[in-house]
Amino acid sequence: MRIPLSVLDLAPIPRGETVSSSIAASVALAQRAEEHGYQRVWYAEHHNMPTIASSATSVLIAHVGAQTSRIRLGAGGVMLPNHAPLTIAEQFGTLDAMYPGRIDLGLGRAPGSDQNTMYALRRDPNSADTFPQDVLELQAYLAGRSRVPGVDAIPGKGSDVPLYVLGSSLFGAHLAAALGLPYAFASHFAPQALEAAVATYRREFQPSAQLDAPYVIAGVNVIAADTVRQAEENLQAVRRTMAVGLFGRGRSFTDEEADLLLEQGAGQHVSSMFTYAAVGTPREIGDYLEGFRKQADADELIVAHQAPTTEGRLRSVTLTAEALDSVSV
């Protein structure tokens, strides 16, 4: 591919499907992405969300790794304040031992949940305040230079699993630049600060042992289909799902009720989240992603393939790869 492209997989559980079928779909998605030359597949940590099956991120990575051979796999991301740095170093050190040279570790500081779920995770409400120190502690475990006397990550020590800072604000940009780490911006759902954050990161970047020059990954939604009409129908189905998930208060909605929800205010919020979305056939997708990469000043794009069915997501993976084979940059 002429634009480095990766996949963000939330392991969605479509209506009427099960967690088992969602996990099987994630395996199929990673295999399709590997077949078509994508760089990596990342899984995001979320909790207490009935339509997302990626809460046990490292377990899902291990399962997918066993059924792929080349593509990089990782977290996009682990919400580090939910965990002790040592635990994450051990988990990803184990993954690196199982799949050498294929594991990434993206780190975020959001809860990935609501306040009640934060309590259930035993997360300190102030734990995000120590995120920079926790990143450094985790990095030291993986490098074999523990900051805690007498404590090593085994597995993990000396693995140097590459770290990425995830963010949707200037905080992550400043931190990634100061630590000399790659920066991944969540513009697929929180687009407002994209350009300012990337500019800040590039301006302030300090080289490190992991990285000698800035490296930006930008998130973007893609709904690729064989016809524009099908892509637009898939977009509307995804908008319904997001509206119900965000504002449905746990209720089940028919399509007609979900459309009313969108009309009553949820639509504006969902549209804002979908500010950056490529929708259409390969022609439209290729043109959009080329323009978005330039606008975002990104070295790599990570795509959330949006469709209401597994078949639709797999088709989107294929068509997007085909689109970028013909994009000139």
Helix or strand or coil: residue 259? helix
**Cβ–Cβ under 8 Å, residues 285 and 278:** yes
- Which two tokens mark 127? 């734990």
The pLDDT score that the predictor gives to residue 329 is 35
Mean pLDDT, each 10-residue run in order, the chain (329 residues): 92 92 98 97 93 96 98 96 96 98 96 78 85 97 97 98 97 98 96 97 98 98 97 96 86 90 90 96 96 98 96 98 70
CA–CA dist 202, 206 (Å, integer): 9
Is residue 81 a contact partner of residue 122, using CB atoms and an 8 Å limit? no
Only one residue has tokens 């030291």, namely 140
Res 218: pLDDT: 98
- pLDDT score, position 326: 55
pLDDT at residue 248, rounded to an integer: 85
Mean pLDDT of the chain: 94
- The separation between the first and the last C-alpha atoms of the chain, rounded to the nearest angstrom, is 11
Which domains does the chain possess?
Answer: 5-220+296-308 (3.20.20.30)
* Model pLDDT for residues 103-150, shown as the tens digit of each residue: 999 999 986 567 888 888 877 878 889 999 999 999 999 999 999 999
Q: What is the pLDDT of residue 322?
A: 95
Tell me the two tokens of residue 71.
């593509």
